[in-house]
Amino acid sequence: MTDNQGDTALILINCTTDPISGNDIENVHGYPSYTDKGNETELTVYFENELNKQAFLDIPLKPPIGELNVNFDNPTDVFYDMG
């Protein structure tokens, strides 16, 4: 997507549901917010209060390596032919 000057236009996303409380904020004016701007997108998340905003910002972006245990093996000796 480009604007009339040939520059890439941002896709603006406004999240008006507080991700901590789950409550919708109808009039976002005056409420705390967090904005994350990428190359092609800009996400703004609104919060009911500063405590919820800080709780959101305290969530780790990536889980620590080694805490994800995924087993893709078939743990049984029984195989089913679904065909």
pTM: 0.65
Q: Is 19 left (phi over 0), alpha (psi -120 to 50) or beta?
A: alpha
pLDDT, tens digit, 9 for 90 and up, residues 2-39: 455 556 668 999 999 999 999 999 999 999 999 999 88
Q: What's the rounded Cα separation, in Å, for the pair 10 and 58?
A: 27
Q: Is the distance from CB of 39 to CB of 9 less than 8 angstroms?
A: no
* pLDDT tens digits for range 71-82: 566 566 666 666
Helix (H, G, I), strand (E, B) or coil at 52: helix
